[in-house]
């Protein structure tokens, strides 16, 4: 599908040809019907235990758990929290929540008590599913809030809360058995909230992004396109946490497509590689740090990764060099980048084929509209002009929960203002420059740190790098680089400064200097945590 230009410099990705999910009254019912249709196909595989789960098993268990939720008093549009590493029980809990028409709110398992408290106060769940790695924290915070009525332990248990149910016991207990074993269909409204996902919190506290039934059903229709190979013959691998929008949406999509999804609860080098080898994985969901691992780590050589056909990568910038290194090293024929936000349900820009230009993140997905505006004046810009990327379409969130002010800043006339600077070229290929908030203001110039970082990464003695603006009275800010050297090499501050001087325009010079560090702080999806770097700089100055 090729994009078209509509009046007013609006780019359109074209219509969604096949509607299937959107004709449903509820996401839960759609998932159940899909699982029913896939019968005894294996749909989930736990790469740690080797356990395999069929679609029939999923269907039966979801219906059972949905009955249990109803017996516990969960009604349509009630909120259910879900805090667990990737596991079959995570999937069952989420789909059972959808099956009763409830709103599911996944919670990051690495959240501290303070962060759990923030997230729970946003979504106010009635029931929370927790696993052994989170249950103590969840229980402690829940006991301080009045809205949590019960916790269901997917695994483990805790003494920190009075009403804790064990999932296994309930699933086996006749008390919760209902006859007949089918669920009366729920009917959700389009605007009912199906999911509340927390944004990554790269630029501040995580926001509770409300995705509606329609957001999800429409996104499913845009994702579920006819494929060359039947989906039942495709094995996918994921280690992306399902509590994050990217992970969660890819779980829902693959479930509805009938592929075999092999999952890992967390990244572990050998396990990740041996899972690809053992299950002959064809496609894997990736984030940039995993791509760098495949491109550079010596251990990769020890495994047979020849089954890999496609790597699907998103969440943060991925350099062309890394892409090329992977293709050369392990011979993966296709690498597909995607760009999206929690607020857009899943990706809005995708690389459809191999002809994307270097640095491009691809073209608009079907059903999506885009425009680029001057972030200061709001003026519409044209091809090759850099400005704030804005998107419109059925996947754009309803708003941030409990935060009308931020919602109004983010969505204007149905357009999501991303806070990202980018442009499209004459072929409607899109390029991401950087986040507005992260641009360095040097004199009259706006310098994107991502560009200097990409340049630094091409230096053979540099393993990793991050750039921030160092406050300066005269110039506003000066570009300053944090650099991780490769092992056993000689590299001075002056070498790095000279390298940038030679290869970049004057505004990008590292006038703020270079600080050598052991590691660049990043979140698991590879987003550089610049606020930590800014704090490091402040601390250095006050010494």
Residues that bind ligand ATP (CB under 6 A): 199-204, 206-207, 245, 314-317, 337, 339-342, 361, 418, 420, 432, 435, 527
Among ligand ATP, Mg ion, none, what binds residue 392 when CB lies within 5 to 8 Å by partner kind?
none
Do residues 99 and 105 touch, judged by C-beta distance below 8 A?
Answer: no
Which phi and psi (to 5°) does residue 521 adopt?
-65, 125
Among Mg ion, ligand ATP, none, what binds residue 83 when CB lies within 5 to 8 Å by partner kind?
none
Among ligand ATP, Mg ion, none, what binds residue 316 when CB lies within 5 to 8 Å by partner kind?
ligand ATP
CB of 435 to Mg ion, least distance (A): 8
CB of 398 to ligand ATP, least distance (A): 15
Specify the residue, 339 or 415, whose C-beta has the smaller distance to ligand ATP. 339
Strand, helix or coil for residue 127: strand
Angle between helices 449-457 and 493-503 (to 10 degrees): 110
Specify the residue, 199 or 215, whose C-beta has the smaller distance to Mg ion. 199
Specify the residue, 206 or 258, whose C-beta has the smaller distance to ligand ATP. 206
Specify the residue, 103 or 199, whose C-beta has the smaller distance to Mg ion. 199
* Pairing between β-strand 260-263 and β-strand 235-238 as defined by DSSP bridges: parallel
CB of 247 to ligand ATP, least distance (A): 10
Among Mg ion, ligand ATP, none, what binds residue 317 when CB lies within 5 to 8 Å by partner kind?
ligand ATP
**Among 361, 364, 370, 350, residue whose Cα is nearest residue 414:** 370
Specify the residue, 15 or 204, whose C-beta has the smaller distance to ligand ATP. 204
Among Mg ion, ligand ATP, none, what binds residue 3 when CB lies within 5 to 8 Å by partner kind?
none
Specify the residue, 129 or 243, whose C-beta has the smaller distance to ligand ATP. 243
Site of tokens 């509606």: 212
Strand, helix or coil for residue 10: strand
CB of 243 to ligand ATP, least distance (A): 11
**Among 20, 304, 24, 320, residue whose Cα is nearest residue 190:** 24
| Dist CA 518 CA 291 (whole Å) | 20
Beta strands in 403-461 (DSSP E): 411-412, 415-424, 430-435, 440-442, 445-447
Per CB under 5 A, contacts with Mg ion among 255-314 are none
Give the N- to C-terminal CA distance of the chain in Å, as an integer: 57
Specify the residue, 63 or 361, whose C-beta has the smaller distance to ligand ATP. 361
Among ligand ATP, Mg ion, none, what binds residue 432 when CB lies within 5 to 8 Å by partner kind?
ligand ATP
Among Mg ion, ligand ATP, none, what binds residue 290 when CB lies within 5 to 8 Å by partner kind?
none
Per CB under 5 A, contacts with Mg ion among 190-209 are 199
Among Mg ion, ligand ATP, none, what binds residue 119 when CB lies within 5 to 8 Å by partner kind?
none
* Pairing between β-strand 103-106 and β-strand 79-83 as defined by DSSP bridges: parallel
Please state, in angstroms and as integers, the Cα–Cα distance from residue 231 to each residue in 27, 64, 361, following that order. Answer: 20, 27, 25
| Dist CA 84 CA 243 (whole Å) | 8
Residue nearest Mg ion, CB atom distance: 199
* Sign of CA pseudo-dihedral 486, 491, 496, 502: negative
| Dist CA 504 CA 484 (whole Å) | 20
- Our CA angle for 59, 62, 64, nearest 5°, is 110
Specify the residue, 106 or 258, whose C-beta has the smaller distance to ligand ATP. 106
DSSP H or E stretch at residue 139? helix 135-142
CB of 317 to ligand ATP, least distance (A): 4
CB of 109 to ligand ATP, least distance (A): 16
Specify the residue, 248 or 500, whose C-beta has the smaller distance to ligand ATP. 248
CB of 199 to Mg ion, least distance (A): 5
- How many CA atoms does the CB half-sphere of 421 hold within 13 Å? 20
CB of 496 to ligand ATP, least distance (A): 24
CB of 523 to ligand ATP, least distance (A): 8
Q: Which residues bind Mg ion (CB under 5 A)?
A: 199
């Amino acid at each position: 599908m090729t994009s078209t230009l509509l009046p007013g410099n609006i780019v359109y990705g074209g219509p969604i040809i096949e509607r299937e999910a959107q004709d449903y009254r509820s996401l839960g019912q759609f998932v159940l019907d899909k699982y029913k249709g896939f019968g005894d196909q294996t749909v989930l595989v736990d790469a740690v235990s080797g356990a395999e789960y069929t679609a029939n098993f999923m269907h039966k268990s979801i219906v059972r758990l949905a009955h249990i939720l109803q017996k516990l008093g969960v009604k349509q549009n009630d909120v259910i929290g879900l805090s667990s590493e990737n596991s079959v029980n995570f999937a069952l809990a989420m789909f059972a929540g959808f099956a009763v028409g409830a709103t599911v709110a996944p919670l990051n398992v690495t959240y501290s008590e303070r962060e759990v408290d923030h997230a729970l106060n946003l979504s106010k769940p009635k029931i929370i599913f927790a696993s052994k790695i989170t249950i103590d924290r969840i229980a402690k915070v829940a006991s301080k809030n009045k809205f949590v009525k019960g916790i269901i332990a997917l695994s483990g248990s805790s003494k920190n809360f009075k009403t804790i149910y064990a999932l296994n016991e309930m699933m086996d207990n006749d008390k919760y058995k209902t006859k007949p074993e089918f669920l009366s269909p729920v009917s959700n409204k389009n605007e009912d909230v199906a999911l509340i996902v927390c944004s990554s919190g790269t630029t501040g506290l995580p926001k509770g992004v409300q995705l509606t039934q329609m957001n999800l059903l429409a996104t499913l229709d845009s994702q579920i396109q006819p494929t060359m190979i039947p989906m039942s013959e495709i094995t996918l691998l994921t280690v992306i946490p399902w509590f994050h929008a990217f992970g969660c949406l890819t779980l829902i999509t693959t479930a509805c497509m009938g592929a075999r999804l092999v999952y890992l609860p967390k990244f572990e080098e050998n396990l990740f590689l041996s899972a690809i080898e053992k299950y002959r994985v064809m496609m894997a969901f990736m984030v940039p740090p995993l791509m760098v691992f495949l491109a550079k780590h010596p251990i990769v050589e020890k495994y047979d990764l020849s089954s890999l056909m496609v790597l699907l990568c998103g969440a943060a910038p991925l350099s062309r060099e890394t892409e090329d290194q992977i293709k050369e090293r392990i011979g993966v024929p296709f690498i597909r980048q995607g760009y999206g936000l929690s607020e857009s349900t899943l990706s809005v820009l995708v690389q459809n084929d191999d002809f994307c230009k270097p640095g491009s993140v691809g073209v608009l997905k079907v059903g999506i509209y885009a425009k680029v505006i001057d972030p200061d004046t709001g003026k519409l810009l044209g091809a090759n002009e850099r400005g704030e990327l804005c998107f419109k379409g059925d996947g754009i969130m309803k708003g941030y929960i409990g935060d009308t002010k931020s919602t109004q800043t983010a969505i204007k006339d149905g357009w999501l203002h991303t806070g990202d600077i980018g442009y499209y070229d004459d072929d409607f290929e899109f390029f991401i420059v950087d986040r507005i908030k992260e641009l360095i203001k040097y004199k009259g110039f706006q310098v994107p740190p991502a560009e200097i970082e990409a340049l630094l990464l091409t230096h053979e003695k540099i393993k990793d790098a991050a750039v921030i603006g160092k406050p300066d009275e005269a110039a506003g800010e000066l570009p300053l680089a944090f650099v991780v050297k490769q092992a056993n090499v000689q590299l001075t501050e002056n070498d790095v400064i000279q390298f940038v001087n030679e290869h970049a325009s004057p505004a990008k010079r590292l006038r703020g200097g270079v600080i050598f560090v052991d590691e660049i702080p990043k979140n698991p999806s590879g987003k550089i945590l610049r606020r930590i770097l800014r704090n490091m700089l402040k601390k250095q100055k006050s010494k």
